Chains A and B, each alone.
Chain A
Amino acid sequence: MARTKSQSFEANISRLEEIVRRLDDGSVPLEDAIKLFQEGTELTARCNKLLDQAELEVVKLTKGPDGTIEEVPFANAEFE
């Protein structure tokens, strides 16, 4: 199954939390800390962008002619 935007977001934010934990711990050498900080800043930007740009994806399950169940886009103009 394809990775959802929510999964990317969750992965990014948990890595971000790990970075904050490691930085807070204080035992990280300064050089590594700067690298972590840069990584964290990029993750924050990526998360913000995901939240800014995401649009809810909605599918409906329907039974095809051969009886198999498949996902079709659920177009519902009213929910927007």
Chain B
Amino acid sequence: MSRQEVSILSVTQLNTLIKAAFDHVPALQNVCVRGEISNYKLYPSGHHYFTLKDAEGSLKCVLFKSNAAGLRFRPQNGTSVLAVGRVSVYPRDGAYQLYCTRLIPDGTGELQLAFEQLKQRLYEEGIFELSHKKQLPALPQRIGIVTSPAGAAIHDMLRILGSRYPLAKVILLPVRVQGESAAGEIAGAIAYANRKSLCDLLIVGRGGGSIEDLWAFNEEIVARAIYTSEIPVISAVGHEPDVSISDFAADLRAATPSNAAELAVPDRAELYARLETLQKSMSAALRRLSQLSRSRLEAIASAPALRDPAMLIRNRRLALDQLTEDLIRAEREKLTEARTELARLAAALDAMSPLKVLERGYACVRDEEGRVIQTAAAARQEAALELRFRDGSLRVRPEET
């Protein structure tokens, strides 16, 4: 190419040239591209602008209002789609883009797929087990917050914590919440809080954003740090419909950072009410106790012993009289019995008396010493015998008969 042949072009002229070149390639006039939507924006004009992405590249796209009428779904970041249209150049930007005529959802996107696969794997490993979920402290002492020190999320959380439960101390662990290093920083902060027993509750999260913005909270390293944390973790990622892997791994999932602050602490108003209830139960219990004491006192005061003490003595005296009488009767009975027994014995003795035999005409023979002689042979030995009759004694001499 010689120097003479070079003509000077304006930017517009070049862009127009390039546009014309694009427009003459038949292959670019009707394409169908598979990609994942990101940077999605719906303008008030009704035109949709977004970028289609895959692992390596990205492609600017527009879907004009006139073509958007046929949309069967609401395009969202992360949705994988098939975009049909033609490729052309937008001369003002000097950039080529896909002018879509149709947009068709294409199952699940790559990130969505990665998300689902990781979720499934961690689920099977038991990382999301409900039995592993830790109880949150009823009254947190120190709340560690792992988030960006700059975002709106930290403001929202501090405002709500301050108005609900200002007794807690908040320790901010500043981290990047998006980009390459985010996941490592978040996981590191969670591990650090545990190593130092920094707090008794952790809130981990960030405000809303695209699926790429929130991606750190879908990383395995973050999920594992949350799972391993001895300190209970509330996950607070994005806005209500956003669900992250962190949400599943956490002990409690909050819809938003503000919601996390609400779930983390009791409301001051409830605590005032609880104190009032306690004070009331205390008063009621004391009233009951003093009533009980009063009625016990009344019961004691109305006991017979205190009403008429002399009666006690009267009662005792009556009992004593009764006992004395019993004693006398018992003694008398014993004496009578003894007398009867004596008469019986005397009669028996009398019946057996030897004098009674003499009465009947017998005599008793005795030697001089008074021993009874019972045989003739014994009598023959004696020089003298004594005969005893009923009316007296007679001294005799034995003779041979």
Q: Which residues of A contact B (CB under 8 A)?
A: 4-7, 9-10, 13, 16-17, 19-20, 23-24, 26, 28, 30, 33-34, 37, 40-41, 44, 47-48, 50-51, 54-62, 69, 71, 74, 76, 78-80
A79: contacting residue among B139, B162, B173, CB under 8 A: B162
- Interface pair B149/A60, CB less than 8 Å apart: yes
Contact flag A23-B289 (CB < 8 Å), given A44-B275, A74-B149: yes
Which B residues are in CB contact (< 8 Å) with A62?
174
CB of B315 within 8 A of chain A? Answer: no
Give the 5 A-B residue pairs with the shortest CB-CB distance, closest first: A23-B285, A79-B158, A56-B162, A54-B166, A6-B167
Chain A residue nearest in CB terms to B145: A58
Q: A26-B289, A37-B282, A74-B149 are in contact. Are A51 and B171 (CB under 8 A)?
A: no
The minimal Cβ–Cβ distance linking A67 to chain B, given in whole angstroms, is: 13
A4 near B141: Cβ-Cβ < 8 Å: yes
Interface assignment of B121: CB less than 8 Å from any CB of chain A: no
Asked whether, in the complex, the Cβ of B169 is within 8 Å of the Cβ of A59, the reply is: yes
Give chain B residues whose Cβ lies under 8 Å from the Cβ of A20: 278, 281-282, 285
B47 close to chain A: CB less than 8 A: no
Distance A54 CA – B154 CA, assembled complex (angstroms): 20
| Interface band, chain B | 35 or more
* B 156-175 contacts with A by CB, 8 A: 158-159, 161-162, 165-174
Residues of B within 8 A of A (CB): 139-142, 149, 154-155, 158-159, 161-162, 165-174, 192, 268, 271-272, 274-275, 278-279, 281-283, 285-286, 288-290, 292-293
Chain B residues near A7: list those with CB within 8 A.
141
Cβ contacts under 8 Å, B285 to chain A: 20, 23-24, 26, 33
State whether B158 touches A17 (Cβ < 8 A).
no
B155→A51 contact, CB < 8 A: no
Kindly state the separation between the CA atoms of A34 and B288 in the bound complex, as whole angstroms. Answer: 12
Which A residue's beta carbon lies closest to that of B197? A1
A-B contact pairs, 9 of them (CB 8 A): A5-B169, A6-B139, A20-B285, A55-B166, A56-B168, A57-B169, A79-B155, A79-B158, A80-B159
Q: Could you tell me if B279 and A44 are in contact, using CB atoms closer than 8 angstroms? A: yes
- Partner pick for B282 among A41, A57, A71, CB 8 A cutoff: A41
Contacts of B167 in A (CB 8 A): 4-6, 9, 50-51, 54
Distance, CA A79 to CA B167, complexed state (A): 16
A57-B169, A59-B171 known; 7 other A-B pairs, CB under 8 Å? Answer: A5-B167, A30-B293, A33-B285, A41-B279, A44-B275, A44-B278, A76-B154
CB of A6 within 8 A of CB of B289, answer no
In the complex, A45 Cα to B45 Cα: how many Å?
Answer: 61
Cβ–Cβ < 8 Å partners of A54 in chain B? 166-167
Q: Are B278 and A71 in contact (CB under 8 A)?
A: no
Contact of B286 with A34 in the complex, beta carbons under 8 Å: yes
How far does the Cβ of A71 sit from chain B's closest Cβ, in whole Å? 7
Contact B275 A48 (CB under 8 A): yes
| Alpha-carbon distance between A71 and B140 when the two chains are bound, in angstroms | 19
Contacts of B278 in A (CB 8 A): 13, 16-17, 20, 40, 44
Contacts of B141 in A (CB 8 A): 4, 6-7, 10
* Cα distance, A42 to B286, chains bound together (Å): 15
CB–CB A9/B139 < 8 A: yes
